[in-house]
């Protein structure tokens, strides 16, 4: 069998790890949350308001992001504030745009 390790500058990762990360990112609501958090920490109700998404759904997606160590949380009083663990994450997501449809010349 073939070696399915994927190499980046500093590390090697199994394809399954990367697949899993991409699955986490491949959700519109989670991308919106990440985009929203890129300007700084927000509590759940701020995200729910800003994105017009029900509170329980925001909470669910934040849990997915937290489980996968993409965001961290901190309770202050009644509020729980979430923030990106790595600010570069939103840049990474934006980079994906480079590969979206019609980036190339032979596009009809």
Partner DNA sequence: TCGTCATATCAATCATGATTGATATGTACC
Partner DNA sequence: GGTACATATCAATCATGATTGATATGACGA
Of residues 86-105, which lie at the interface with DNA (CB under 7 A)?
none
Instruction: Please pick, from the candidates 21, 68, 73, 85, the single residue that binds DNA as defined by CB under 7 A.
Output: 73
Q: Which is nearer to a copy of itself, 14 or 78 (CB)?
A: 14
Q: 87-90 long-range contacts, Cβ below 8 Å, gap at least 24?
A: 87/38, 89/34, 89/38, 90/34, 90/35, 90/37, 90/38
Q: Which is nearer to DNA, 5 or 55 (CB)?
A: 55
* Residue ranges in contact with DNA by CB under 7 A: 23, 27-29, 43-45, 48, 54-57, 59-64, 73, 75, 77-80
């Amino acid at each position: 069998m073939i070696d399915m390790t994927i190499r980046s500058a500093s590390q090697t990762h199994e394809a399954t790890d990367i697949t899993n990360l991409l699955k986490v990112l491949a959700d519109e609501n989670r991308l919106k949350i990440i985009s929203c958090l890129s300007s700084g920490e927000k509590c759940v109700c701020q995200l729910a308001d800003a994105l017009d998404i029900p509170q329980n759904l925001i909470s669910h997606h934040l849990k997915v992001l937290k489980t996968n160590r993409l965001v961290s949380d901190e309770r202050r009083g009644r509020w729980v504030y979430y923030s990106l663990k790595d600010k570069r994450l939103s840049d990474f997501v934006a980079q994906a745009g480079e590969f979206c449809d019609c980036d190339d010349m032979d596009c009809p």
